Structure 1
Amino acid sequence: MNYPLDERIVNDDPNNPWNLTPNYQVFENNTSINPNLFILQKPDENTNMFTTFATSFFATCLLLTGDTSSFSNWSYEENPTLMILVVLFAFFMAIYILNVFITLFSEATVDHEDSFLITRAEYLAKIELFYLLPHQRRWNDWFPEVVYYCANIDETRKKVKKMIDKGEWNINKIPESKKKLMEKLNIPLEYEISLQDILEEIREMKNSSQNMLTEMQEIKKRLP
């Protein structure tokens, strides 16, 4: 419903702009000899938002967005404590929110470098297969026969040992390059072989325990 802005309409509609404007009240000046009247704005629930817990919580949420209208009824020069508290609140909340974003960013990027590289390799493979012409695939500048990678020795050693511990380092695949890499990293070949033997023994023990459990269940079923 459209309301005219030059003619007052009084009703119970909460969306009526005439009901949303500030209300003023006329008072007699009883404290002075001058009999003139004075006009004061009628207070409402938003005049002091810190009278109840609900409005105080909402005022704090507004402060987080930079809205300081809840303090507009107080003079900062006459209330230096209020000014100091507002400055401290803005300072500490800025530090807190920055730390939250840093934590979320670090959690989002940790252990995702490998998946990022795999995804990028997949897209490059699709581009090579479906968007390049045959003569473009033979360009040595784009597709050299040998590709060199630079990596930190300590980080590479940690990664190789971690893969060996998890059983992901299969020396049977590309054995020569893996053996040379282990020699460069000063990782003894027996370290990889011994861990593989341990994993095989664990798998055999697990299989044997499962077989024994199955046999015991069958014997239990045969008993009266």
Structure 2
Amino acid sequence: MFIDIRTSLFAIYLFLIGDSSALSNWSYAGNPSIAVLIVLFSLLIVVYLMNLLIGLLNNAIEEDNNRISYLIQKAEQTWFPEVIHYYADIDKTRREVERLIKEGKWDTKEFAEMREKLLKELQIKHDPINNEVVLKKLSVLEGKLEKLEKLEKLLEEIHAK
């Protein structure tokens, strides 16, 4: 009995890998039951292997979905806090802000509310309209405008002649 089970398992293994020589001793015409068993075996093995393949694919897809959902959830998180606390020496900060104001780099459109609060905390009086740097630039532009007006008059005179 033990030898029969081992030989039948070996015959099944050979049949799985496509070698039907183990069943060549029997004729299919004389034993229709062997032909039915071979067909049933083939169908069951195909269904089993397809289920195994589907299960493996399902695991792979599930891993990808977990990674994708992890990345989506990570992208939806807010990474920066609402408030950032930073310690700075008040004297050094005051000097730096005054330097930026003097060079004309302080009056930008970015962080307007924060700049106003910083000026208030540092007790610096700054009026962007009366800023010396802006007034100097404005006077330079006025000089250039006067030159352009003179050139325009000269062009009109030349054009009139």
Normalised TM-score (structure 1): 0.31
* Higher Rg of the two aligned structures: 2
Structure scoring higher RCO (CA < 8 A, sep ≥ 6) equals 2
Where is the helix percentage greater, Structure 1 or Structure 2? 2
Where is the strand percentage greater, Structure 1 or Structure 2? 1
